[in-house]
Amino acid sequence: MRVRVKSVWSTIAVALATAGAVGMAVMPPASGASKYSGNQGLTWAQVAKLPDWQGIWQLDWEHNLSLLGGMSPEDDLTPKAKASYTSFLAKQKFGEDVQPETANCLPPGMPQIMTQPYPVEFLFNPGKVVILVEAYEQERTIYTDGRPHPAASALTPTFQGNSIGHWEGDTLVVDTVGVLTDVGPGPHTGSGMASGVSHDAAMHIIERIRKIDADHMQITRTIIDPKVLVKPWTVTLPYVREKGDLLEYVCEEGNRDSATANGRPGERLGGP
């Protein structure tokens, strides 16, 4: 069942943002589809022969209750990152840092945008795969035409980063860099690696996306961030196919369910 009430979302999203279970081994970064053999979907005729998992999917948290257990990379954090995370948890006990900047309508960045309690839609096109995310009406473009990532001097960090990919049989391997680091006044603003865990500007994300059967998809995600993690953090996320269409998601900047500078729930009341 889709949840579209913003105040309910604020509670569920924090729990889902760190969802995952131990998954596959770390894969080498994708460096461009041109280096890989096989069908890369460079023409409409090739797209028609790719594994057919276009459509709408949602994180299958209903049948995977562990996704609500608040799993995070806390056991793999560097000492500095661990101290920051411990401080985050301590502040939450006093009512601070419980309301991220998503309450102020800033979208979650990668990787948290892929673990929202809202569906996503995959669209195949020659040379790219587009992921439409209902939450905050975000979009990810994964270029599969063989291009590399832009040079560091030309790469502008964004919430969802720069993604390139290639096909390995029935699996789409996605390589993402250039994800915007935490923004806003609080230590956890919705652009972190997980709830209460910030990431470095050099964070590197590798996703392996494949359809298990007609109604189930699996995304195995590895995050490499040596300044935050002592080793790569890998999780496997289950998704289930959804019927229907994406709905419009509107977050008003002047909404009452906001976050204060200390990450406390706040209300914005206008008037004289």
Q: Residue with structure tokens 């309690």?
A: 117
Handedness of CA 80, 81, 82, 86 (dihedral sign): positive
- The confidence score (pLDDT) of residue 233 equals 92
- The confidence score (pLDDT) of residue 252 equals 72
pTM: 0.80
How is residue 37 annotated by DSSP?
-
CA-nearest of 135, 124, 127 to 58 is 135
- The confidence score (pLDDT) of residue 84 equals 85
**What is the C-alpha separation between 32 and 53, in angstroms, rounded?**
22
Which residue type, as a one-letter code, is found at position 32? G
- The confidence score (pLDDT) of residue 177 equals 95
3-class SS of residue 24? coil
How is residue 113 annotated by DSSP?
G
3-class SS of residue 133? strand
Q: What is the pLDDT of residues 155-196, one digit of tens each?
A: 989 999 999 999 999 999 999 999 988 765 554 556 688 878
Judged against a pLDDT cut of 80, whether residue 259 lies above it is answered with no
CA-nearest of 36, 73, 26 to 207 is 26
**What is the C-alpha separation between 101 and 159, in angstroms, rounded?**
13
258 phi and psi angles, rounded to 5 deg? -115, 180
- The confidence score (pLDDT) of residue 75 equals 86
Q: What is the mean pLDDT of residues 2-30?
A: 39
Residues of the chain with pLDDT > 90, as a percent, come to 47
Per the CB < 8 A criterion, the answer to whether 56 and 244 are in contact is yes
- Report domain extents, the chain: 6-243
**Residue 205 neighbours by CB distance under 10 Å:** 22
**Residue 44 neighbours by CB distance under 10 Å:** 10
Q: Residue with structure tokens 């839609």?
A: 121
CB proximity list for 131: less than 8 A, separation 6 or greater: 120, 121, 122, 123, 139, 140, 141, 142
Output Rg (C-alpha) for the chain, integer angstroms. Answer: 18
More confident residue, 70 or 208: 208
**What is the C-alpha separation between 266 and 263, in angstroms, rounded?**
9
